[in-house]
Amino acid sequence: MIACGVVGGMVLPASAAAQARPQAQQVDRLMVLAPLPVDPGDSAMAVAIADEFRSRVEGKTRRQMNVISKDRIGEALEASGFSREAMLDVSASEQLARFLQSDAYIVGRMERNSAIAVHYHLVDLRRTGLSGWLHYTAPAGAVPKDVAEGLADQLDAQLKAASSARDCVDRRDSRDYSGAKSRARRAFEFVPNHLSAAMCLAIVHEALRDPVDSQIVALEMAVKGDSTSTRAWEMLGRQYQVKGDTLKAAEVFQKQLAADPSDARLRTGVAALLITQKQYDQARVLLDEGLKSHPEDVQALQLKVRACKDGSLWPCLLEANAALYELDSSLAGNAQFYLETFGAAQSANDTVAMLRWSGEAVSRIPDNVVFWRARAAALKTAGRDDSALVAYRRIAELDSKDIAAPLQIAEILMGRIVIDTAVPLDTAGLRGIDELLARVAGLRSTPAGAPADTGVWMNVAARYFQPGAQLVQKRVSFPLGTYWLEQSLKYDVRKQLASQANFFLGLAYFFQLGDLDARLRETKSCALVSEEAQLIAKAKAAMTAGASVQEATATQILQYLGQYEGLVPNYRQTFKCP
């Protein structure tokens, strides 16, 4: 499982807050996470590498750092609803590290082709001096232990450099600037361009009021050591501004933005950039300033559309397109314009805009199925199911092979059916939904009746399962429940619903046995004896397959079925059945 940017949802409980790192803590805490694999199928390998590497890091840093255990990391992940070995992206890793009161953490990525390549990032949170990268490519056939050893060998130099970087900071804080420079140079002997040491050196130059070029040299080393450090890029850009080199400053700020594309504040701060320099937000700001006084400037609006579109600034694009649509009559009925504007509304999650532009599109181009799909999606998002149903039916008319529309129609219709003993069951409505689902499955079946698209079949299976289970669970109609659950199992080609469907199907079969057995005793029909035997066998098979859903209930039902089964030979003998 890969978790992306969600660990921040953790809320530090009072008990955990009480364990927050004391100010005078002597031993730093280090968190080592599994590298995020390019191929999710390599997750087990990544976890194994991390386990081996964490063990070696613990041995190397025993006196310097306390390595957070895998169990503690797992507990934190489980507390947030994830598996103990969930794979975290960069953002989530930092949030987890802060949650665990870590002073530094190691996170990265892994790729495996013929060989295994791991790129580990050392991230400092509280002046540990750790920074930079570990890059290791293991030969073909290497096992996790081999990869971990290769990474650990590289870590030696990083630990020595980190120690010198910490000394640099300590001496800088005590205004021993000469000693601080000496410790920074020592760090560079172990790891050239070491980020923490270079940042310390740059601040020393600033404190000494050294020439701006001295700071630039140190900061250039810092960004070479770690190109993801937004703080280093920002400091470097500001020094180029001090020097008066605006073009170089703009280039550096672009690299800072590349290190953190979500920094909207930085975008607005890069005041000198134009569209051709790929500074789209700046172009928007400049154009908006002009449009305040000249709102009908079509050329400015067209440039704003270009900037917002290329820069993925979706609310801005909606605003610009809406203004341009009012001024340029040639855009009415322009399919490309509607597609672009509706796409921006979707990306901005602006339901009102989705409704406006999809409605405009279908009114201007009524036979375009693409726009009807957009219209249906907008209406569904807005919760206007009745109108969405009309749109989905229009899609089905325009494209008889469309799969999504009949599935959505079935979903909306199913939402109208009440399955409850207190309300008459709409069997006609269920029959219509059944026909829709069967048609959908048929559209994605081979001539032999096999699935041509397992995803579609699974979708159909899920839609059969839900009402089928409800029909049984609420004891509304066991025969109908049986049919819908049997259909669910038929289309459940990936066996994802098998246990649950079989459990409820077993119940449906079982609850029909009482009436069947009563009729059998009354009629003494040998045909009914055979029918009961078959129903018992099906009930046993289904309940056995679904026993894991509710083991106690399944055990009890199977016992009852055993009692019914014991009656069948007596019936055959008493009624003289062949």
| DSSP secondary structure code for residue 20 in this structure | S
Q: Looking at the structure, tell me whether residues 45 and 149 fall in a common domain.
A: yes
In a domain, 55, yes or no: yes
pLDDT band at 272 (very low <50, low <70, confident <90, very high): very low
Q: Looking at the structure, tell me whether residues 57 and 152 fall in a common domain.
A: yes
| Largest Cα–Cα separation, the chain | 111
User: In the prediction, which pLDDT does 488 show?
Assistant: 96
pLDDT band at 14 (very low <50, low <70, confident <90, very high): very low
Least confident of 17-31, 130-144, 483-497: 17-31
In a domain, 396, yes or no: no
CB 117, CB 111: distance < 8 Å: yes
**Ranges of H-type helices in 226-367:** 230-243, 246-259, 264-269, 280-293, 298-310, 314-327, 335-347, 351-364
Residue 13 confidence (pLDDT) above 80: no
Distance of CA 509 to the CA centre of its chain: 40
pLDDT band at 270 (very low <50, low <70, confident <90, very high): low
Cβ neighbors of 32 (< 8 A, separation 6 or more) are 50, 53, 54, 57, 67, 68, 105, 106
Strands 36-37 and 116-124: unpaired
Neighbour-count burial of 166, counting CB atoms closer than 10 A to its CB (0-12 exposed, 13-18 middle, 19+ buried): buried
Least confident of 35-44, 241-250, 490-499: 241-250
User: In the prediction, which pLDDT does 493 show?
Assistant: 95
Structure tokens at 184: 């920074």
- SS3 call for 574: helix
- Please list the residues that pair with 37 across neighbouring strands: 110
Structure tokens at 110: 């892994």
Task: State how far the Cα of 206 lies from the Cα of 249, in Å rounded to an integer.
Answer: 18
Of 72, 85, 84, 11, nearest to 42 by C-alpha is 85
- Kindly state the percentage of the chain with pLDDT values over 70: 92
- Measured in degrees and rounded to the nearest 5, phi and psi for residue 477 equal -160, 105
Domain boundary residue among 171, 187, 220?
171
In a domain, 340, yes or no: no
Q: Convert the pLDDT of each residue in 502-542 to its tens digit.
A: 999 999 999 999 999 999 999 999 999 999 999 999 999 99
Domain boundary residue among 137, 171, 205?
171
pLDDT band at 261 (very low <50, low <70, confident <90, very high): low
Of 240, 392, 345, nearest to 254 by C-alpha is 240
User: In the prediction, which pLDDT does 3 show?
Assistant: 52
User: In the prediction, which pLDDT does 21 show?
Assistant: 40
Least confident of 172-181, 223-232, 259-268: 259-268
H or E segment to which residue 134 belongs: strand 132-138
Mean pLDDT of all residues in 255-261: 78
User: In the prediction, which pLDDT does 273 show?
Assistant: 58
pLDDT band at 286 (very low <50, low <70, confident <90, very high): low
Q: Looking at the structure, tell me whether residues 12 and 100 fall in a common domain.
A: yes
Q: Looking at the structure, tell me whether residues 430 and 570 fall in a common domain.
A: no
Q: Looking at the structure, tell me whether residues 8 and 155 fall in a common domain.
A: yes
Task: State how far the Cα of 119 lies from the Cα of 136, in Å rounded to an integer.
Answer: 7
Mean pLDDT of all residues in 462-472: 96
Q: Looking at the structure, tell me whether residues 420 and 530 fall in a common domain.
A: no
In a domain, 144, yes or no: yes
Number of domains in the chain: 3
Neighbour-count burial of 146, counting CB atoms closer than 10 A to its CB (0-12 exposed, 13-18 middle, 19+ buried): middle
Q: Looking at the structure, tell me whether residues 7 and 150 fall in a common domain.
A: yes
pLDDT band at 569 (very low <50, low <70, confident <90, very high): very high
pLDDT band at 271 (very low <50, low <70, confident <90, very high): very low
pLDDT band at 183 (very low <50, low <70, confident <90, very high): very high
Q: Looking at the structure, tell me whether residues 425 and 533 fall in a common domain.
A: no
Task: State how far the Cα of 81 lies from the Cα of 493, in Å rounded to an integer.
Answer: 29
CB 154, CB 122: distance < 8 Å: no
Domain boundary residue among 123, 149, 171?
171
Q: Convert the pLDDT of each residue in 371-399 to its tens digit.
A: 999 999 999 999 999 999 999 999 999 99
Domain of residue 537, residue span: 513-578
In a domain, 479, yes or no: yes
Higher model confidence: residue 153 or residue 13?
153
Q: Convert the pLDDT of each residue in 407-457 to its tens digit.
A: 999 999 999 999 999 999 999 999 999 999 999 999 999 998 899 999 999
| DSSP secondary structure code for residue 139 in this structure | P
Q: Radius of gyration of the chain from Cα atoms?
A: 33
User: In the prediction, which pLDDT does 140 show?
Assistant: 80
Neighbour-count burial of 221, counting CB atoms closer than 10 A to its CB (0-12 exposed, 13-18 middle, 19+ buried): buried
Mean pLDDT of all residues in 281-305: 78
What does pLDDT average to over the chain?
89
Structure tokens at 545: 């397959």
In a domain, 116, yes or no: yes
In a domain, 572, yes or no: yes
Q: Convert the pLDDT of each residue in 319-353 to its tens digit.
A: 999 999 999 999 999 999 999 999 999 999 999 99
Strands 104-112 and 116-124: antiparallel
Q: Looking at the structure, tell me whether residues 544 and 481 fall in a common domain.
A: no
User: In the prediction, which pLDDT does 534 show?
Assistant: 96
Q: Looking at the structure, tell me whether residues 43 and 130 fall in a common domain.
A: yes
Residue 235 confidence (pLDDT) above 60: yes
Task: State how far the Cα of 80 lies from the Cα of 35, in Å rounded to an integer.
Answer: 20
User: In the prediction, which pLDDT does 26 show?
Assistant: 63
User: In the prediction, which pLDDT does 359 show?
Assistant: 96
CA-to-CA separations, 553 to 99, 538, 550, 560, in angstroms, rounded: 42, 17, 6, 11
Task: State how far the Cα of 360 lies from the Cα of 367, in Å rounded to an integer.
Answer: 13
CB 54, CB 106: distance < 8 Å: no
Structure tokens at 333: 């009925």
In a domain, 553, yes or no: yes
DSSP 451-481: BS-HHHHHHHHHHHHHHHHHHHHTTS-HHHH
User: In the prediction, which pLDDT does 326 show?
Assistant: 94
Half-sphere exposure of 346 (CA within 13 A, CB side): 15
Task: State how far the Cα of 204 lies from the Cα of 193, in Å rounded to an integer.
Answer: 16
User: In the prediction, which pLDDT does 262 show?
Assistant: 64
DSSP 31-98: EE-PPEESSGGGHHHHHHHHHHHHHHHHHHSTTTEEEPPHHHHHHHHHHTT--TT-EE-HHHHHHHHH
Q: Looking at the structure, tell me whether residues 481 and 545 fall in a common domain.
A: no
User: In the prediction, which pLDDT does 16 show?
Assistant: 37
Q: Looking at the structure, tell me whether residues 491 and 528 fall in a common domain.
A: no
**CATH number of the domain encompassing residue 74:** 3.40.50.10070
User: In the prediction, which pLDDT does 550 show?
Assistant: 96
